[in-house]
Structure 1
């Protein structure tokens, strides 16, 4: 009787081990300690900003004033421009083109005074660069709505003295990526309301 129970217990243990090995072999890998993620169909870039178009990020600027500059050579052809430059007078208010959360306030040699805003689902990053200053009270973690103040048009970073404009960047991100990661996307069609010219 005990021998029979021992064989049953041994068989059950072997069955559990066999199922566990089969799961390791046939199921896709997930990062250790992280739950497996559901498979999600890719979203076309054209369905931008989680279903809503981008608003103009420079106050009072009509869409017709936006020109295509994606891919233009910069630094004597050493790099391509990844964004849309919107020329405006110094200190013109810069406002949120889309809702989100302020992820990073940053200053760099290239972008000067910048703001990174992540969309609510963390699938887009909106980048505002060359600012002359931040809007009063703007802080990391702040939730913002379309049209909320971000800062002011400036010429900080590598914009060039007196070349007042907003560099607006758009990046497609995965929710787990950082503010500085992702794939740059041409924002021109979403700001100008028409297809890219190139």
Structure 2
């Protein structure tokens, strides 16, 4: 279903007129001093993640989370008759969020529902990866910046309409139309891709 300019899921896609763009004023956070994920500091600071078994599979976007821990919440109902169109990945606040693939930061955005968000386009500009409820961006993250798979782009949080007692990453994938608009696309279920079940 196309992503409208009004909120389509619990982390609003944020059409351009809905809120001001986030740029250099976005919260920039250093890597967390305390890491509950059990991953060593060197790998977090360098943005290095464990390699996936299948190169075509997207990297899990939350450091320290395994595929077995994911839950498919793509079709879950949300307020106002909305469908989630994404999955939520629960993790402690401050856990590093990683780029799922190579690409470009298309938009840094602050929205009422999604809070601090980042839109990444794949190199072919056919897919958008949407990361929402971030506590903040990693230092140096900026629009039009090239990203490498596994690079730390931000930190799990509870901004926007997320429950402060349940920090998580709201992660979505949208197939872009010919207009290549960051706020508009057709939702694709990320769960099979992140689990390595994509055909």
TM-score (norm 2): 0.70
Q: C-alpha root-mean-square deviation of aligned residues, in Å?
A: 1.6
Could you list the structure 1 runs, at least 4 aligned residues long, displaced by more than 4 angstroms after superposition: none
1:121–1:175 contact (8 Å) kept in structure 2: no
TM-superposition CA deviations, 1:77-105 (whole Å, max 9, x none): 62110101100011000010011000000
Q: Within 5 A, what are the aligned runs for 1:77-96?
A: 78-96=81-99
1:174 counterpart = 2:177: yes
2:59 matched residue in structure 1: 55
TM-superposition CA deviations, 1:6-37 (whole Å, max 9, x none): xxxxxxxxxxxxxxxxxxxxxxxxxxxxxxxx
Point out the structure with max Rg over C-alpha: 1
1:113 counterpart = 2:116: yes
Q: Indicate the SS of the match to 1:52.
A: coil
Bigger relative contact order, structure 1 or 2, given CA contacts below 8 A and separation 6+? 2
Q: Matches of 2:155 and 2:178 in 1, distance apart?
A: 28
| 1:160 shift after superposition | 1.6
Report the more deviating stretch, 175-184 or 146-155: 175-184
2:67–2:194 contact (8 Å) kept in structure 1: yes
Unaligned 5+ segments in structure 1 are 1-50
Q: 1:146 aligns with which of 145, 149, 161?
A: 149
Q: Within 5 A, what are the aligned runs for 1:2-41?
A: none
1:71 matched residue in structure 2: 75
Looking at secondary structure, tell me which structure has more helix per residue: 1
Q: Matches of 1:101 and 1:127 in 2, distance apart?
A: 12
Report the more deviating stretch, 160-169 or 86-95: 160-169
1:123 matched residue in structure 2: 126
| 1:175 shift after superposition | 4.8
Figure out how many residues of one structure are paired with residues of the other and give that number: 145
TM-superposition CA deviations, 1:112-151 (whole Å, max 9, x none): 1000000001000000000000000100000001000110
Q: Matches of 1:54 and 1:167 in 2, distance apart?
A: 15
